[in-house]
């Protein structure tokens, strides 16, 4: 291994004194925030890793940030994580990722575990069946910033970054109505989570605004994704009359529905239009591409990271909680675009 970077190397590079570098790295209030950030960034660039533990011990920071998601293998979540890393890595932070497999029990354990591992912040998305607030309160009690992204809970002291799911649901449904669809089914997921509730409410609002009847039979709440999407489509296509469009709250649900519908020789989009939600990459890869609502996950991750950094700066002062809402974007593709 090469020669280790010292604070003298960093000082030379930035043309400041080694004492200032040391103070900056130790979060001394006599150094401005701008200088601190510059020093931390430069230290990271110059590979000042070796002394990071000593720094962490002195400053009481681990320079680790914990990120918790239901599943790492959803493009939506892995892209959010990439966004978080893109913002935090240049600031000297390392991101530790944990998945809950969408289970409330694991969510609790993982939060506790990350606290034990002394992370400087927790950025997370809820498990579908998440329950209680005690584990979140423990985080905040330790003065560790807690930022929810996408699936959030209203906990006093926690911040959040989400998209406007209501608008996403509304626009997807409005688009289907504009394609001439009149009997629009909706595949929901657990509506005790805000994200799925709001997509459903957006769907309802669009029906109402266009004078279309709301039909409870056309609403199916999926327990899982791909397979459940197939089964839901089977149920729906047996109705009399069957729906002429499906707005699914997830892309995997839409994919399952499409597979079933095609297997029955029913034409998409001529007989049934389909729109998904999340804009997972496979929606583009398919030979017949799938319309979907994009949730700008990269931006969501970056924004969550920036909220975390802001909260760190407020340490000691009064905490300002942020609630950021991003705008979704409907990507219209072959599965719902009729030649009209």
Count helices and strands (H / E) in the chain: 13, 12
The residue from 217, 263, 288, 314 that contacts a second copy (CB under 8 A) is 288
Residue 79 sits in the site that holds a second copy (CB under 8 A): yes
Q: Which is nearer to a second copy, 93 or 170 (CB)?
A: 93
CB 124 within 8 A of CB 149: yes
Q: Which is nearer to a second copy, 184 or 272 (CB)?
A: 272
Residue 185 sits in the site that holds a second copy (CB under 8 A): no
- Shortest distance (Å) from residue 325 CB to a second copy: 25
The residue from 14, 16, 56, 326 that contacts a second copy (CB under 8 A) is 56
CB 334 within 8 A of CB 283: no
Token pair recorded at residue 150: 């996408």
Q: Which is nearer to a second copy, 225 or 244 (CB)?
A: 225
Site string for a second copy, 237-276 (x = CB under 8 A): ------------------x---------------------
CB 123 within 8 A of CB 305: yes
**What angle is formed at CA 227 by the lines to CA 149 and CA 150, rounded to 5 degrees?**
5
CB 248 within 8 A of CB 335: no
Question: Contacts from 24-30 at CB under 8 Å and sequence distance 24+?
Answer: 25/55, 25/58, 25/59, 26/55, 26/58, 26/59, 27/59, 27/61
How many residues form the binding site for a second copy (CB under 8 A)? Answer: 40
Q: Which stretch binds a second copy (CB under 8 A): 5-13, 30-38, 109-117, 194-202?
A: 109-117
Residue 141 sits in the site that holds a second copy (CB under 8 A): no
Residue 16 sits in the site that holds a second copy (CB under 8 A): no
The residue from 22, 42, 110, 336 that contacts a second copy (CB under 8 A) is 110
Residue 298 sits in the site that holds a second copy (CB under 8 A): no
Residue 98 sits in the site that holds a second copy (CB under 8 A): yes
Residue 113 sits in the site that holds a second copy (CB under 8 A): yes
The residue from 27, 109, 129, 164 that contacts a second copy (CB under 8 A) is 109
The sign of the CA dihedral 82, 87, 91, 96 is: negative
- Shortest distance (Å) from residue 43 CB to a second copy: 12
- Shortest distance (Å) from residue 241 CB to a second copy: 28
The residue from 35, 46, 52, 319 that contacts a second copy (CB under 8 A) is 52
CB 246 within 8 A of CB 219: no
The residue from 13, 18, 27, 49 that contacts a second copy (CB under 8 A) is 49
Token pair recorded at residue 324: 């950021």
DSSP per-residue letters across 233-260: HHHHHTSSSPPSEEEESSHHHHHHHHHH
Could you tell me whether strands 329-331 and 291-294 are parallel, antiparallel, or unpaired per DSSP bridges?
A: antiparallel
The residue count of the chain comes to 340
Q: Report the distance separating Cα 159 and Cα 175, nearest Å.
A: 32
Q: Binding residues for a second copy, per CB under 8 A?
A: 1, 47, 49-50, 52-53, 56, 62, 64, 71-73, 75, 78-79, 81, 85, 94-99, 101, 105, 108-110, 112-113, 116-117, 132, 134, 255, 282, 285-288
């Amino acid at each position: 291994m090469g020669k280790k970077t010292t604070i003298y190397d960093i000082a030379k590079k930035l043309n400041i004194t080694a004492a200032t570098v040391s103070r900056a790295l130790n979060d001394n209030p006599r150094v401005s925030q701008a200088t601190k950030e510059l020093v931390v960034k430069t230290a990271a660039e110059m590979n000042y890793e070796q002394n990071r533990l000593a720094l962490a011990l002195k400053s009481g920071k681990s320079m680790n940030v914990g990120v918790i998601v239901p599943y790492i293998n959803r493009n939506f979540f892995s892209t959010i994580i990439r966004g978080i890393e893109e913002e935090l890595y240049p600031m000297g932070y390392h991101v530790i990722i944990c998945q809950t497999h969408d289970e409330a029990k694991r969510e609790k354990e993982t939060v506790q575990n990350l606290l034990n591992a002394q992370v400087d912040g927790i950025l997370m998305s809820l498990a579908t069946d998440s329950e209680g607030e005690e584990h979140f309160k423990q985080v905040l009690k330790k003065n560790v910033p807690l930022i929810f992204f996408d699936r959030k809970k209203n906990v006093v002291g926690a911040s959040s970054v989400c998209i406007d799911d209501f608008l996403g649901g509304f626009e997807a449904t409005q688009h289907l109505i504009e394609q001439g669809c009149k009997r629009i089914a909706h595949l929901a997921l657990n509506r005790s989570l805000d994200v799925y509730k709001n997509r459903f409410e957006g769907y309802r609002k669009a029906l109402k605004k266009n004078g279309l009847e709301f039909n409870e039979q056309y609403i199916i709440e999926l327990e899982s994704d791909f397979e459940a999407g197939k089964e839901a489509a089977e149920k729906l296509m047996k109705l009399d009359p069957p729906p002429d469009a499906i707005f699914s709250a997830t892309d995997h649900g839409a994919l399952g529905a499409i597979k079933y519908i095609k297997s029955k020789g029913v034409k998409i989009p001529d007989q049934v239009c389909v729109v998904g939600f999340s804009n997972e990459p496979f929606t583009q890869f398919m030979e017949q591409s799938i319309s979907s609502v994009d949730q700008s996950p990269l931006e969501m991750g970056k924004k969550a990271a920036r909220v975390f950094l802001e909260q760190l700066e407020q340490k000691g002062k009064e905490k300002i909680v942020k609630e950021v809402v991003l705008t979704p974007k409907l990507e219209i593709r072959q599965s719902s675009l009729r030649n009209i």
